[in-house]
A and B are shown apart, each in its own frame.
Chain A
Amino acid sequence: MPTASGAMRGPDGRASAGPPVRDDAAPLGVLVSAGVVRGWRAVRWFVTSMMGDTAYATFVEHQRREHPGDPVPDERTFWRERFAEQDRTPGSRCC
């Protein structure tokens, strides 16, 4: 596909960071399928970011930038610590 992910997703992995790069010469079918792929990616990005699937990747990226050289826990350990922290400091949910 000519308008593959690179153009639509920033290097930090965010979809819809800008308007899609449209290749006007491309046939309609390609444009439509590119649109579907783009829409699917955007939904997937939104849902996984909101639900928290991306939390570990975010943390690893943060450690890599801010504390390079520090050991990074594996995903299992990361989630264990995260939940242990929530046990200690409960957060509210609304009525």
Chain B
Amino acid sequence: MGKDARRQSDPSARSNRRGDVQAPAAGGEAEPVVVQDPDLPPTALDEAEDTPTWTPPKVIVWVLIALLGGVAWTMLALVRGETVNAIWFVFAAVCTYLIAYRFYSKFIERKILRPDDRRATPAEYNQNGKDFVPTDRRVLYGHHFAAIAGAGPLVGPVLAAQMGYLPGTLWIIIGVILAGAVQDYLVLFFSMRRGGRSLGQMARDELGVVGGTAAIIATLAIMVIIVAILALVVVNALGESPWGVFSVSMTIPIALFMGVYLRYLRPGRITEVSIIGFVLLMFAIVAGGWVAETEWGAAAFTLDRTVIAVGIIVYGFIAAILPVWLLLAPRDYLSTFMKIGTIVMLAGAIVLVRPEITVPAFSEFAGGDAGPVVSGSLFPFLFVTIACGALSGFHALIASGTTPKLIEKERQTRFIGYGGMLMESFVAIMALVAAISIDRGIYFAMNSSAAATGGTVEGAVAFVNSLGLAGVDLAPEVLTQTAANVGEESIVSRTGGAPTLALGLAHIMQQLIGGTALMSFWYHFAIMFEALFILTAVDAGTRVARFMLQDTFGNIVPKFRDPDWRLGAWICTAVMVAAWGAILIRGVTDPLGGINTLFPLFGIANQLLAAIALAVCMAIVAKRGYFRWLWIVVVPLAFAAVVTITASMFKIFSPVPAVGYWAQNAAFRNALETGEESFGTAPTRAAMEAVVRNTTVQGVLSIVFVTLAIIVIGFAIWHTVKSIRTGGGPSSEDPAVPSRRFAPSGLVATKAEKDLEKQWADVDEDKRPARTGH
């Protein structure tokens, strides 16, 4: 039953209902001809109507945007003053995004995607009123953004700030327009043309069984490492913080209450219950401050990092086997609500406060590989430290999942796919601004591992002042005062990025509302909302991984495919939780510091997934026969492949122990063999043995990831070359079905689109299409 049930919901296994199609896509440039219902107004704009006319006001506006962007980039990159104002980051980012969206994404649309609004989307031809629903483009934009943006773009830029602000800024903005947004747009479009098929299925269709299977195993492994490292970020943010532990644990009863409310009291009132949940959440944050001040509160909620890690593992297992309505769905509503609200708030605050940035464009660590936050040289490690926000392979899973089933018209994929990713990139820029708005001394004291600082104020001051940072002279009072301001015992070695971002956000927000008195509230507000995203990602990631594992086991024991077989689901959940839990515990107890050694693996995994997604897209574009424009995909693919494979090679083969996992492993093994009692930052033999174990796991994972990615990319290149030789290949698209509806493609409807919408408004109601948004 299980397999059949799944096949039923599989959109690729459906019949062609309204088959007024003359020629199916046979590969190459041949596009199917779609004949539309003569009783209806046009379902697409004529090409003539769609060609933009360059009126003088339009030209002036674009010249002004370009000029403002140019001035902003000059301020950031060329003018070397004492400080630079944060507003230039906003202008540089927004102007570049606008130009890239208007010109480059349009270019991609014209040259390799060629959406055809006369064709119905899966949401239209498969419409079932549930998961296939033509959705208003603006609503879907919000929906898609909420699904792709999480803690990733908030963490990576913070850690990369150790190299100065310019490398990160350049990579986030240039990376997104040439790579990240391109990937999201292409995957969304190709999945939409295939009835919303998943990336794994598309890989199997395009690359054959071996390439496809490698892609699926890589996805599974990558999911495990990503969940583990996100959980590590939460553990680091909550360790020794009774306030944080209390308010974040309160999200569980709040979510349970919301779940029960939605199921038994008022089904479907999601906004209402989210507002109630939000109010409760704010109360939990304030109450956390009271609880942390009481003796019993401090005693009960000051937890060791290992205890928190075990707590999250137990939580992760229970949350993933509980029904969705009870915990996952309500917390997801809460996190969507918080996400959009906080990001709008932070953007507004940066524009209003306009903090002065004292961090240099390139720091002392931009040139070497000895940075204390994440080790490794700028190339390639900057590009893996900042994954989300510039290029995130994980998005390919979203862009080939829920979103393509909700697209109303084909041409809207540009706004939703490319435009949605630009918004995430903007979030990354804001996180970077927040991180560099705090004092550099504090930044390094927070982000250097406890192995370096000893976890004490004195140790941190001595360590940071020994780094030889220009203009940094850290005083112990600064650290104790800042910790007191944010209501924490200490801010030394609060690694993982989340506490730094929280401090940056608190620093900016308190200048707008409340002053120092509210700083502790803002700090814990930020910790809370990051923890909320991450716990949702942990829970959902475990479920998806379990689902994939069930499918894999199902090849051997078919019963595993039955979604109603609870025991099977529990076994697979336990396996997945054990996998990420083991990495999490190793990260938490790592004598070398944890996040600084593991974070590169997170970025590498995410970028490898991006390389896999782009490789699949390259094979598809080649099959469509658009060889001249193949570079649009090849450039970001080559870059992602070079970066991740180089980074993996560094991690595997580098002789520098801080960079290479095996070099570190050998150094510690040698020390153990020669009978040393302590080595490097490991004070005991047990700790040294832990380092050997950890580096073995990390080293093996690096090898597994890079091997799988090379297999997938290799297959993609082979299929691409084959397509080039034969002039294209058979299309795996679903057959074209004529559309019976119209909607504008971008955020704001053009004049021609408005005119056409008016024609549709005059159509009889029973002929007019149904859509969401009542």
Contact = CB atoms under 8 A, between A and B. Distances in A.
A73 to B, nearest CB: 11
B771 A92 contact: no
Contact of A61 (B129, B537, B563): B129
Nearest to B155: A95
A54 B772 contact: yes
A92 B5 contact: no
A28 B768 CA distance: 36
Contacts of B143: 50
A85 to B, nearest CB: 8
Nearest to A56: B268
Given A51-B333, A79-B268, A83-B323, A89 B133 contact: no
Contact of B271 (A17, A53, A58, A85): A53
B3 interface: no
A82 B714 CA distance: 40
Nearest to A83: B325
Contacts of B402: 91
B58 interface: no
Interface in A50-84: 50-63, 65-66, 75-76, 78-80, 82-84
A60 to B, nearest CB: 8
A14 B129 contact: no
A65 B329 contact: no
Contact of A54 (B148, B324, B774): B774
A87 B773 CA distance: 25
B394 interface: yes
Contacts of A13: 773-774
A16 to B, nearest CB: 9
Contact of A49 (B136, B395, B540): B136
17 contacts: A49-B136, A53-B269, A55-B130, A60-B129, A61-B770, A66-B129, A79-B325, A82-B130, A88-B563, A89-B6, A90-B324, A92-B398, A92-B540, A93-B540, A94-B149, A95-B230, A95-B537
Contacts of B152: 94-95
B183 interface: no
A82 B336 CA distance: 19
A48 interface: yes
B392 interface: yes
B274 interface: yes
Contact of B774 (A61, A85, A87): A61
Nearest to B131: A85
Given A49-B136, A63-B129, A76 B267 contact: yes
B397 interface: yes
Interface in A25-55: 45-55
Interface in B529-550: 536-537, 540-541, 543-544, 546-547
Contact of B773 (A54, A56, A78, A82): A54
Given A53-B270, A86-B324, A92 B774 contact: no
Tier of interface size on chain A? 35 or more
B768 A91 contact: no
A56 B774 CA distance: 9
B417 to A, nearest CB: 14
A18 interface: yes
Contacts of A78: 267-268
B311 interface: no
A7 B654 CA distance: 68
A56 B269 CA distance: 10
B127 interface: yes
A4 to B, nearest CB: 17
A85 B398 CA distance: 18
Interface size of B as a range: 35 or more
B725 to A, nearest CB: 36
B270 A52 contact: yes
B336 A11 contact: no
B395 A94 contact: yes
B262 interface: yes
Interface string B393-409: 01101100110000000
B757 interface: yes
Given A51-B337, A93-B150, A94-B147, A10 B127 contact: no
B117 interface: no
B263 A12 contact: no
B268 A75 contact: yes
Nearest to A19: B754
Interface string B758-774: 10010001101011111
A60 B268 CA distance: 13
Contacts of A59: 129-130
Contacts of B772: 49, 54-55, 58
A95 B606 contact: yes
A45 B772 CA distance: 11
B768 A12 contact: yes
Interface string B122-157: 000001111101011011001100111111100000
B334 to A, nearest CB: 10
Contacts of B766: 65
Nearest to B2: A88
Nearest to B543: A90
A76 B606 CA distance: 39
Leading 5 A-B pairs by shortest Cβ distance: A62-B129, A90-B543, A95-B152, A83-B325, A93-B540
A79 B398 CA distance: 23
Contacts of A10: 761
Nearest to A76: B267
A93 B541 contact: yes
A14 B769 CA distance: 13
A94 B537 contact: yes
B765 A11 contact: yes
Nearest to B132: A62
Contacts of B564: 88
A93 B536 contact: yes
B457 interface: no
Contacts of A88: 5, 563-564
B332 interface: yes
Nearest to A13: B774
A80 B259 CA distance: 11
Contacts of B230: 95
Given A58-B774, A83-B324, A90-B543, 11 more contacts: A14-B136, A18-B754, A48-B270, A52-B333, A66-B770, A78-B267, A86-B329, A87-B563, A94-B397, A95-B151, A95-B152
A10 B754 CA distance: 13
A47 to B, nearest CB: 6
B255 interface: no
Contacts of A60: 129
Nearest to B397: A92
B359 interface: no
A55 B392 CA distance: 30
B9 A50 contact: no
- Residue among A58, A61, A80, A86 facing the most chain B CB atoms (10 A cut-off): A58
A90 B205 CA distance: 22
Between B6, B128, B139, B149, the greatest number of chain A beta carbons within 10 A of the residue's beta carbon is seen for B139
